Chains A and B, each alone.
Chain A
Amino acid sequence: MANRRKIRLLAVISIILVILFVTWGLKSSNWGYFLSKRIPKIMAIVLTGGAIGFSSLIFQTATNNRILTPSVLGLDSLYMVIQSVAIFLLGSTSKLIVNKNINFAMTVVLMIVFSRILFRSILKKGNNNILTLLLMGLILGTFFQSFTSFIQMMIDPNEFLHIQDKMFASFNNVNTEILMISSAIILLIGFYSRKYLGIWDVLALGRDNAINLGIDYDKIIKTTFTIVSILVSISTALVGPITFLGLLVVNLAREFLDTYEHKFLIVTSMLIAVVALVGGQLLTERIFNFGTPISVIINFIGGIYFIHLLLKEGVS
């Protein structure tokens, strides 16, 4: 019961923060304009938080460790690579690029294919060596980023300028055009995942135990990775990459709750992610007036926490 109470508390906090975010500084003269700007933005942020919390948690369950997350392995940079290559090959005026929803759907499909190849090739090799995997992931991220910029350089500069803002989202430039499709996908995934909650609990016991308990291990892993790729595509498409948010919220959720059950853990990490993003955005945008994207601050805190985790767990 204690867990339920904690979750309720988190839910209340997130709702308060969301309301604060939407209503801050509203006057009778400006509310029409402000609401039309803020509601899509807050929706995008909440969806992103949910997607990141969910995907990081089940990814850690599937890979059975507490340091790896999809973005640490460079998955959100992969999204950028696919986008840039698509523009390069198809041109910025192609229907596949201009129509946001088609573009998004196409990228998601490619993400699923490529991330499966990626996971298969690197997870197989270093299965027992988490550190090699981590380093590979970080370098892979750098590789994808350089490759993205490389491709962007080769795109005709005029064409590129034209699409840059629309293509690459950030916290100051939230992509609101795909809100409908991404909310629908997230709802679907949430619905579809209900039957997996118990299976993930068993999966967390490790590969051998899970197989012994009668779980079709390979199939579950594949499904999990597919869900992860879709969710990462959503969050990256909406606000761009935030490397360490997933790592932070999942570990916080595990500290906060005393449970192994995914039905609690998933909800909690999603809520914590929402609180962190909305709260952080309120702080930087309205109170401190930093002009610094919140992802920079999250990466600073996340980086320190990551070193702490490494120093603590690296000994094993």
Chain B
Amino acid sequence: MKRKYLVLVLLLLSLISIFIGAKEINIRNLLNFADEELQILLISRLPRLISILVAGMSMSIAGLIMQQISRNKFVSPTTAATIDSAKLGILVSMIFFSRLGTIGRMLISFVFAIGGTLLFMQILRRVKFKNIVFIPLVGLMLGSIIDSVATFFAYRFDLVQNINTWLQGDFSMIIKGRYELLYISIPLLIIGFVYANKFTIAGMGEDFAVNLGLNYNQIVNIGVGIVAMISSLVIITVGRIPFLGLIIPNIVTIFQGDNMKKNISYTALFGAIFLLFSDILGRLIIYPYEIPISLTVGVIGSAVFLYLLGRGDKYGK
């Protein structure tokens, strides 16, 4: 797979994405800068496209970083309690700090996401038995415990519907003025690119990494920080997109190997393509209505994950 083909596919899908919607956009009118068409483009279609691209790239790279530092192919924000903790954080901010704006909520959910991920990493360190399947299993369970705590309080404060609609990953509500927070993840992505080599070394194990002169703990903490930040940003603006961070890096690794410096750009591109494709699919199936992205990705993503697990004997150990 050449990178330029991926870029080409991405551009093509982006174009398609801009012209799909309940309101038809006529290209000729657009070129004449007709007011109505331009407004739709600037207020709805472009923000949607940008947020899909950014979310796709950053969630995939968050997964890649996570897999490097935990040295496990099946770990990702979905399987490491990160997303569920972020959800709990949002709930706490809704209950106790209801006057906070979006940024305040984002920060609280970030604190929870980082806490949950560190808790998971801590359990990881305690467990001597590092079976490849065992660890995501513990992560999923930890996630569901945190989730049931969140559900419990959501019921008590009558916020169940509120939080569920909010966290349903969905791009249809993205319009100008509601997605700009996502831009924060771009500098995080750049940090990810810069540190790619160090994450690769950290992925060789603590002893080895320290021997090579790496400040292991610092790198791991930076990694967890980036992952938690990206997760809470995406969950606040878009909602939860399950499995994205899990399957994209795995598919890329099958073709590209384990060197993160080499495959981080592929991961980013492929993540964006996958998410964009799923979004277009969700928009077309019951046109002019939409199926939320979390469901499209949930169905495709869990099927791919099952496939990866099935071939687990050959790969991933």
* Interface residue ranges, A against B (CB under 8 Å): 125, 129, 131-132, 134-136, 138-140, 142-143, 145-147, 149-150, 153-154, 290-293, 296-297, 299-300, 303-304, 306-307, 310-311, 314-315
Contact = CB atoms under 8 A, between A and B. Distances in A.
A142 B137 CA distance: 13
Contacts of B145: 300, 303-304, 307
Contacts of B299: 143, 146-147, 150
B131 interface: yes
B292 A303 contact: no
Contacts of A293: 155
B156 A143 contact: no
B242 to A, nearest CB: 7
Contacts, number: 102
B117 interface: no
Query: Interface extent on B, as a size class?
Result: 35 or more
B144 A303 contact: yes
Nearest to A299: B148
Nearest to B126: A311
Given A150-B296, A307-B142, A297 B152 contact: yes
Given A146-B295, A290-B152, A296-B148, 13 more contacts: A132-B309, A135-B140, A136-B306, A139-B309, A143-B306, A153-B295, A292-B156, A303-B145, A306-B141, A307-B138, A310-B138, A311-B127, A314-B131
The secondary-structure label for the interface of chain A is helix
Contacts of A296: 148, 151-152, 155
Contact of B155 (A153, A290, A314): A290
B242 A142 contact: yes
B291 A150 contact: yes
A152 to B, nearest CB: 9
Contacts of A139: 302, 305-306, 309
A300 B152 contact: yes
A300 B151 CA distance: 10
A103 B145 CA distance: 34
The 10 closest A-B pairs by CB, nearest first: A146-B298, A143-B302, A303-B145, A300-B148, A292-B155, A131-B133, A150-B295, A299-B148, A146-B299, A153-B291
A205 to B, nearest CB: 26
A140 B303 CA distance: 8
A169 to B, nearest CB: 17
Contacts of A125: 310
B128 to A, nearest CB: 8
A315 B138 CA distance: 13
B136 interface: yes
